[in-house]
Amino acid sequence: MFAAVLLVACQRTPPAEPPAAEPAATPAAAPAPSPASTAPVAGSDADWQGYGAAQLGIDAEQLRAVWGSELQGEAGADGACYYLSPAAHSEGGPFFMLEGGRFVRYDVRGGDTAAPGGGRIGMDLAQLQALYPQAEPVQPHKYVADGKVLRVPATDGSQGALVFELGADGKATVWRVGLPPQVDYVEGCG
């Protein structure tokens, strides 16, 4: 009988250990919950933290490794700004901006890729403002007469932002996600 009690006691010890170890590992591995309005749209790789496995802040070598297929583009001298793009990409992107040796922004210039929160190229200002009530006041576009810029700060706790450029017709023509100050560069690497 004593041996059976020891056996039962020994069998209970292993299950008690994983729950103690599991909570310590879970917070580091699990992303912080975010409001549903800021979650990536199903079928989209775009999010506030990067584009799929390509997370903002990684270096060019890491970006190439996580992308999984060839990226085209030449590194800028001494950390200068430059873009990498998938070899088999569409005209619309994504285009990955690197500056100071780090991935700091991605641009979408066409197609139907949804931005974090659901915005898309072709949507008008009212539609975008309805999707992004946290958007900053609309600003005039630096180069497009009657164009506008809508900047949306991330609501997932990151420092990132989403920027829509709208044409004179009031519809989004491009969008980008990145870290300040690069997300606000109107000329790209210009």
**Which pLDDT score is estimated for 16?**
35
Residues near 98 by Cβ (< 8 Å), separated by ≥ 6? 60, 63, 75, 76, 81, 82, 83, 84, 104
**Which pLDDT score is estimated for 44?**
58
Highest mean pLDDT among 1-5, 88-92, 141-145 belongs to: 141-145
Q: Which residue has the higher pLDDT, 159 or 39?
A: 159
Q: How far apart are CA 100 and CA 113, in angstroms?
A: 27
**Which pLDDT score is estimated for 89?**
67
Work out the average pLDDT over 113-141. 96
Architecture label for domain 51-184: Sandwich (2.60)
Q: What are the boundaries of each domain within the chain?
A: 51-184
**Which pLDDT score is estimated for 33?**
30
Work out the average pLDDT over 121-145. 97
Q: Which residue has the higher pLDDT, 17 or 63?
A: 63
pLDDT bin (cut points 50, 70, 90) of residue 157 is confident
Range in 31-35, 37-41, 69-73 with the lowest mean pLDDT: 31-35
**Which pLDDT score is estimated for 117?**
93
pLDDT, the chain, mean:
80
DSSP 66-127: HH-S-EE--PPGGG--EEEEETT-BTTB-EEEEETTEEEEEEE-SSSPPPTTS--TT-BHHH
Work out the average pLDDT over 63-87. 90
Do the beta carbons of residue 116 and residue 162 sit within 8 Å?
A: yes
Q: How far apart are CA 41 and CA 59, in angstroms?
A: 26
Do the beta carbons of residue 112 and residue 90 sit within 8 Å?
A: no
Q: How far apart are CA 106 and CA 13, in angstroms?
A: 49
Q: Which residue has the higher pLDDT, 46 or 50?
A: 50
Of residues 61, 54, 86, 88, the one with CA closest to residue 72: 86
Q: Which residue has the higher pLDDT, 66 or 31?
A: 66
DSSP state of 184: G
Q: Is the pLDDT of residue 107 over 90?
A: yes
Q: Is the pLDDT of residue 189 over 60?
A: yes
Do the beta carbons of residue 154 and residue 129 sit within 8 Å?
A: no
**Which pLDDT score is estimated for 129?**
98
Residue type, 91: E
